[in-house]
Amino acid sequence: MPHSNNQRAKLKEQLRRIALDEGFSPVAFASPQKPPQGEFLTKWLKNGSHGDMEWMAKNQEKRQDPNLLMPGLGSIMVLGLNYRPQGNHSPYLNDPAALGVSAYARNVEYQGFIKKKLKKLAQQIEKLLGRRIDGRIFVDTAPVLEKPIAASAGLGWQGKNSLLVNRNYGCWLFLAEFFLELDLPPDPPSKEHCGTCNRCQKACPTNALNTPWQLDAKECLAYFTIESSAPIPHKHRKAMGNRVFGCDDCLTICPWNRFTPQSSETIFNPRPILKAPKLLEFAFLDDAKFRTTFSKSAIKRTGRIKFMRNLAIALGNWGNIAALPALKHLFNDENPLIRGHAAWGLGQIPSEHAIDLLKKAEKNEEDQTVLEEICIALR
């Protein structure tokens, strides 16, 4: 390991160049110190802003101190990968019959793809040094405060939408960390450039960004449609519109995303079935077909039950009589969470047949939560 400051700085730039050559976008280095915003995690958790994501409350000390994740940690290499896909990122907002899916989930899961790139990077670093090195790689799979660490390394700043914002890539960065034994000089943190802009706060359909720079997950549509296994709160169902998986409103509205380049990684472009998807194309998927359709995607990991729960809400918000067969099918599903949300969806359709279906089911339904949804729909 080089000892002089000049040698350490030279090695850091060599590592940065190797990472850029491997396809990472911005690359920066952070010290192994506790990230400066780490103390806000305790308050955020105490306020219950994490909803029922109990895993966020676990390993709190490790999240706040990266040294607990790797003894002998010398520096943290923070890497961003531009994932901005081709074309319109939220085409569904102008078509209530379309299936709304967050841009990051319209192709393969990114974690595995990025880990492969990181392993190649590790091999190149060891080749440069001529020896094996101690290190750990993380891609959204460990108790790491990714955004605060990235901000402390100068990779960007946390915007009022709580996302990391980079001057060149906006909010379109997947983040990864390479914990290294190497003692390398950190890069300076970048300044915050949101200024008086609050477009992301205004764009949020459920006011989950009422407090700038902080996301209240239990009010966020991305949280409800992806993370939560509970019924969608009635107060947010209309706001969901046709968003079936995630919500990109606070991301795409950010002015820093206006002129960002498209990703050079074609793997992040939408798979054919998700280029212009319609709600009616997906309502009749059984579990096997669902797994095949969304193979290697974040949607598959979330599972069919949540997906169909969300789809029932979207079909109801569409409100078109053409949604009736799909909602009827979901209303007969064996899972009560899906049946209950399908009942709500049927209640949004202007059809006597929908009312008849609800009244008939009211006499035979045994699940209390579904019965409650039927009663609300009939009212």
Q: What is the pLDDT of residue 36?
A: 78
- Residue 2, pLDDT above cutoff 70: no
Residue 42 confidence class, pLDDT cut points 50, 70, 90: confident
pLDDT, tens digit, for every residue of 294-325? 999 999 999 999 999 999 999 999 999 999 99
- Domain parsing of the chain, residue ranges: 5-86+108-180, 206-246+278-378
Cβ neighbour number for residue 337 with a 10 Å cutoff: 21
Q: What is the pLDDT of residue 38?
A: 73
Tell me the mean pLDDT in the region 158-173. Answer: 97
Q: What is the pLDDT of residue 58?
A: 83
Q: Determine the Cα–Cα distance for residues 191 and 201; give it in Å rounded to an integer.
A: 20
- Residue 124, pLDDT above cutoff 80: yes
**Closest C-alpha among 177, 223, 146, 3 to residue 76:** 177
Residue 1 confidence class, pLDDT cut points 50, 70, 90: low
Q: What is the pLDDT of residue 3?
A: 63
Hey, which of 42-51, 238-247, 265-274 has the most confident mean pLDDT?
A: 238-247
Give the CA-trace dihedral at 281, 282, 288, 293, to 10 degrees: 70
pTM of the model: 0.94
- Residue 89, pLDDT above cutoff 90: no
Give Cα separations from 43 to 39, 47, 65, 90, 214 (angstroms): 7, 6, 16, 33, 11
Q: What is the pLDDT of residue 51?
A: 83
Residue 175 confidence class, pLDDT cut points 50, 70, 90: very high
Q: Determine the Cα–Cα distance for residues 16 and 10; give it in Å rounded to an integer.
A: 10
Q: Determine the Cα–Cα distance for residues 182 and 74; give it in Å rounded to an integer.
A: 5
The chain-wide mean pLDDT, for the chain, equals 94
> What whole-number percentage of the chain has pLDDT above 90?
86
pLDDT, tens digit, for every residue of 226-262? 999 999 999 999 999 999 999 999 999 999 998 899 9
Q: What is the pLDDT of residue 344?
A: 98
- Residue 104, pLDDT above cutoff 70: yes
- Give me the catalytic one of 140, 249, 356, 367: 140
pLDDT, tens digit, for every residue of 206-218? 999 999 999 999 9
Q: Determine the Cα–Cα distance for residues 124 and 134; give it in Å rounded to an integer.
A: 14
Strands 243-245 and 100-101: parallel
Q: What is the pLDDT of residue 46?
A: 86
Q: Is 286 a catalytic residue?
A: no
Q: What is the pLDDT of residue 54?
A: 80
